[in-house]
Amino acid sequence: MSALHLRFPRTTIVRIVPVVAGVVLAGSALTGCDPPPHAVPVITGVNFPSGFFVTPDNTKIWYSERFTGEIHRRNLQTNNDVLVFTVPNLLTSGEQGLLGVALHPNYPASPYLYAYATRDAGGGVARNQVLKITISNGVGVASQVIFDASAGSFHNGGRIHFGPDSMLYIVVGENTVPANAQDLSATNKAGKIHRITPDGAVPSDNPIAGNTIWAYGIRNSFGFGFDPTNGQLWVNDNGPECNDEVDRIVKGGNYAWGPHETCGGPLVAPDNTNQDGPLPQRKPRHFYASTIGITGLGFCSSCGAGSLVEGALLVASYNNGQIHRLTLNAGRTGVVGDDLLYDHTSNVLALETRAGQPVYFSDPSAIYRLAL
């Protein structure tokens, strides 16, 4: 089955009518007292920045280029750009490449940068690996592999992020083999969300002793984030020809992607693509019946995008270049509304924000922030 392939050009924009738990929600543009947000270019002339993050003081952006393997640091005040590190032995066919970056939460006291990339591990064998890169005088001087997983030409995932618990979370696609997503052996890391220490060890409170798995039954995710209100993890997951998902992740949860998936019956959406593995099978909190190539995910917490966006869950898409505002219920456990927040002129690769900072997003050649 085909789905999001990041090498494809942008398709014609269509308006999405989302469905949640059998209820059709309005897919209209956001309306209210605030003007609609617009995109302000922050960094231009870059080569497919599929991963980036903003420093807590909002003065620097570290970004990675998928096809070159380069990781840069841009000073937003002086516009000075520094090449920090280039990932060696990079592979870039299909959906491979340098896919995600993260910074140690105690940086610079703990001077480590992390990169998730598809690499030639020797003899042409492709592996998805997390590199822990030592930073000295502002540049990378050494690296070591702290996480290693199988890779395919497609469905490698592409997001790493430190959680509020200071653990590193990694999402790995199922390499186009749905059965991988239900294999809980320690050696099969495809189709899952993983949680490791900053040094690559298995935390003692992971759901399976000695195993990096945090949740499973994942197809191919490019975006996740933690709700700043309560620390809850939410993840986007791309469907096949149907059912792009927004999932609320619980420890050890089975999100039920597997070999029995289908976009047909007899089960109705989204159960038809989420019917494998043991009970309880966790279902999406929101989904798009027609695929949008769902990518970035983040939360607006004093993000400056207007009062109607405050507290919302934001999701981005590659196929139509849109950013949607998802309104959560009072307990912040489910989605009760979906509105178009911003309609970009190109594919959206990634979306990043943190409490008190603007919403940033990237397309194949630039990084932007949303402003009123």
pLDDT in tens, the chain (372 residues): 334 444 333 333 333 334 343 333 434 566 666 788 999 999 999 999 999 999 999 999 999 999 999 999 999 999 999 999 999 999 999 999 999 999 999 999 999 999 999 999 999 999 999 999 999 999 999 999 999 999 999 999 999 999 999 999 999 999 999 999 999 999 999 999 999 999 999 999 999 999 999 999 999 999 999 999 999 999 999 999 999 999 999 999 999 999 999 999 999 999 999 999 999 999 999 999 999 999 999 999 999 999 999 999 999 999 999 999 999 999 999 999 999 999 999 999 999 999 999 999 999 999 999 999
Q: What does the pLDDT read at residue 1?
A: 36
Q: What does the pLDDT read at residue 366?
A: 98
Q: What is the DSSP string of 261-295?
A: --SSSSSPTTGGGS--SSSSBPPPSEEESS---EE
Q: What does the pLDDT read at residue 34?
A: 78
Give the whole-angstrom CA distance, residue 287 versus residue 50: 23
Spatial neighbors of 288 by CB under 8 A, at least 6 apart, are 16, 18, 19, 243, 244, 294
Nearest alpha-carbon partner for 292 in 256, 244, 260: 244
Give the whole-angstrom CA distance, residue 191 versus residue 169: 14
- The whole-model pTM stands at 0.93
- The H-assigned helical ranges of the chain are none
CB 168 within 8 A of CB 195: yes
266 cis-preceded (ω within 30 degrees of 0) = yes
Give the whole-angstrom CA distance, residue 260 versus residue 281: 13
Vertex 206 angle, CA 200 and 207, to 5°? 145
Burial profile 102-139: b = 16 or more Cβ within 10 angstroms, e = fewer = bbbbeeeeebbbbbbbbbebeeeebbbbbbbbebeeee
CB 308 within 8 A of CB 32: yes
CA 150 to chain centroid? 19
Which two three-digit tokens encode residue 261? Answer: 């998936």
Q: What does the pLDDT read at residue 31?
A: 61
Q: Using alpha carbons, list the distances in angstroms from residue 115 to 47, 64, 97, 136, 267.
A: 16, 9, 11, 16, 39
Residue 205's SS3 state is coil
Q: Using alpha carbons, list the distances in angstroms from residue 158 to 12, 111, 233, 273.
A: 24, 23, 16, 21
Give the whole-angstrom CA distance, residue 19 versus residue 23: 6
Q: Using alpha carbons, list the distances in angstroms from residue 174 to 24, 60, 94, 182, 227.
A: 30, 33, 14, 9, 25
Residue 256 phi, psi (nearest 5): 70, 10
- Sheet architecture: strand order including 213-216: 159-162, 168-172, 192-196, 213-216
Give the whole-angstrom CA distance, residue 322 versus residue 308: 17
Spatial neighbors of 200 by CB under 8 A, at least 6 apart, are 130, 132, 146, 147
CB 349 within 8 A of CB 101: no
Instruction: Tell me the CB-side half-sphere exposure of residue 348, using CA atoms within 13 A.
Output: 31
Give the whole-angstrom CA distance, residue 314 versus residue 34: 17
Q: Are strands 139-150 and 126-136 parallel, antiparallel or unpaired?
A: antiparallel
Task: Tally the residues of the chain.
Answer: 372
